[in-house]
């Protein structure tokens, strides 16, 4: 645990008592503060009481008298579509609002220790963060992985000299944190997501941008395949040759004298001052299939090069990376048919990248569709033989997918059975939902687990 600094003798309100909220309460108590906890659910309040925390209804009048600040869990809205009532009360009482990420950054980093690499973006954050962690561990570094992946940031062991902390940070986390001081900040890409929470695309980008504009990293690794990334790189760099900014792309060679890492046709190349200084053949890296994973590889390569690792050490580590569950995860191969679980592909952009990673696809999609549906996926369906649609948006998706055969299956069980029965050797049965899971599953992990279970049952019966 990392004790929070600057809270000794002060009352600190904590709203939301899930993983990050309880972790924050423990770290505040360890730092000498007095946590005052609240959760809208009785179960969360009971968890806090079981650990001896004071639970107080922060929605009642006068609840913020004597409170120094409010710590809010990531899932609780603080601005759009409208602030939670407790957040509104805190703001009305002029009480500062922060989150566990802000507490982390203000409680570590004395004298530049440890090194902190923070990864944000729309897609690929988890794989990129896990890959950075894997590369550093393979090089013998002492590393801890936290944030949106792994442990809560305040649950980490106090880092020592030479240690590295790798954080995956969502827009919910970067938007609210009052302190953001990473040594290396990574921006993978940007595509529409969580727009209601951020008041539109501009607010969503602004939330990501704070990691750089307010974080002031020593090195900024920025994906420039979207206009927002190019804009951000331009804002962070003093000139074309400023090597504090490392631009990454899977679309094109990047001109100029600066530092860049590019992956094209399966080959990663590092360029500095107009010269190629490193290269990796990513086609042979089994844990990173497809251009979207090649973008993740570029980001991880750049971040670890920024910490001084050699190209050969990074390449060696790439080959031993097994990938993450629910992200282009090869589940099984049955009679020449591969079954791939990309349940994390919860939006159109992620699904497009998953579809482009394979040549012959039988596509399982659907769930709780997002604004705009899947119409934008039409240009990416050239490899799809048929779509098997599940969940709440199955019929809407069926209307929108006009260029390929579709079958409304409703449930994962029916979709897996139908796709497996019709798949031919050399094809891939791909779960890439392009939708949220909440209509049928509590999260994308449970959805992916169900897919894996059903594929396993095919092996037993087929």
Residue ranges for the known binding site for ATP are: 121-127
DSSP state of 307: T
d(CA 121, CA 191): 9
Q: Residue 435 CB: number of other CB atoms within 10 A? A: 30
Q: What are the binding residues?
A: 121-127
d(CA 303, CA 186): 7
159, 153 contact by CB (below 8 A) = no
184, 117 contact by CB (below 8 A) = yes
121 contacts: CB under 8 Å, gap ≥ 6 = 128, 186, 187, 188, 189, 190, 208, 223
CA 435 to chain CA centroid, Å, is 16
**Two tokens at 343?**
């349940």
Burial class (CB in 10 A: 0-12, 13-18, 19+), 70: buried
d(CA 179, CA 455): 45
Q: Give the HSE-up count for residue 319: Cα atoms under 13 Å, Cβ half-sphere.
A: 8
**Two tokens at 300?**
């991880």
Q: Is 372 left (phi over 0), alpha (psi -120 to 50) or beta?
A: left
């Amino acid at each position: 645990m990392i004790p929070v600094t600057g809270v000794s003798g002060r009352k600190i309100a904590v709203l939301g008592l899930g993983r990050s909220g309880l972790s924050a309460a423990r770290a505040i108590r360890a730092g000498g503060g007095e946590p005052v906890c609240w959760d809208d659910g009785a179960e969360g309040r009971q968890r806090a009481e079981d650990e001896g925390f004071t639970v107080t209804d922060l929605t009642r009048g006068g609840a913020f008298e004597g409170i120094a600040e409010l710590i809010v869990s990531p899932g609780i809205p603080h601005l759009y579509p409208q602030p939670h009532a407790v957040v509104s009360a805190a703001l009305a009482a002029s009480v500062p609002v922060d989150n566990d990420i802000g507490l982390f950054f203000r409680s570590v980093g004395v004298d530049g220790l440890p090194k902190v690499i923070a990864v944000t973006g729309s897609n690929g954050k988890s794989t990129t963060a896990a890959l950075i962690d894997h590369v550093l561990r393979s090089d013998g570094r002492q590393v801890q992985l936290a944030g949106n992946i792994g442990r809560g940031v305040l649950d980490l062991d106090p880092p020592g000299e030479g240690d590295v902390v790798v954080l995956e940070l969502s827009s919910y986390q970067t938007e609210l944190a009052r302190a953001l001081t990473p040594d290396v900040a990574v921006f993978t890409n940007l595509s529409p997501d969580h727009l209601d929470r951020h008041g539109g695309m501009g607010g969503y980008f602004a939330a990501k941008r704070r990691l750089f504009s307010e974080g002031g990293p020593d090195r900024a690794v920025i994906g420039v395949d979207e206009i927002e990334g190019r804009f951000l790189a331009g804002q962070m760099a003093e000139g074309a040759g400023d090597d504090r900014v490392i631009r990454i792309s899977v679309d094109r060679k990047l001109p100029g004298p600066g530092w860049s890492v590019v992956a094209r046709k399966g080959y990663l190349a590092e360029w500095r001052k107009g010269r190629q200084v490193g290269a990796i053949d990513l086609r042979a890296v089994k844990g990173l299939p497809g251009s979207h994973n090649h973008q993740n590889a570029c980001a991880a390569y750049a971040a670890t090069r920024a910490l001084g690792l050699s190209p050969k050490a990074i390449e060696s580590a790439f080959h031993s990376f097994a990938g993450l569950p629910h992200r282009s995860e090869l589940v099984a191969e049955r009679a020449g048919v591969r079954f791939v679980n990309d349940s994390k592909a919860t939006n159109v952009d992620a699904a497009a990248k998953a579809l482009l990673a394979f040549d012959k696809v039988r596509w399982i999609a659907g769930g709780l569709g997002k604004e705009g549906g899947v119409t934008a996926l039409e240009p990416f369906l050239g490899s799809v033989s048929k779509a098997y649609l599940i969940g709440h948006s199955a019929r809407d998706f069926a209307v929108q997918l006009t260029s390929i055969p579709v079958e409304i299956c409703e449930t994962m069980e029916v979709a897996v059975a139908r796709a497996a029965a019709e798949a031919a050797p050399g094809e891939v049965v791909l779960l890439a939902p392009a939708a949220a899971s909440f209509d049928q599953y509590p999260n994308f992990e449970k959805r992916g687990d169900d897919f894996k279970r059903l594929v396993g049952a095919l092996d037993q019966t087929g």
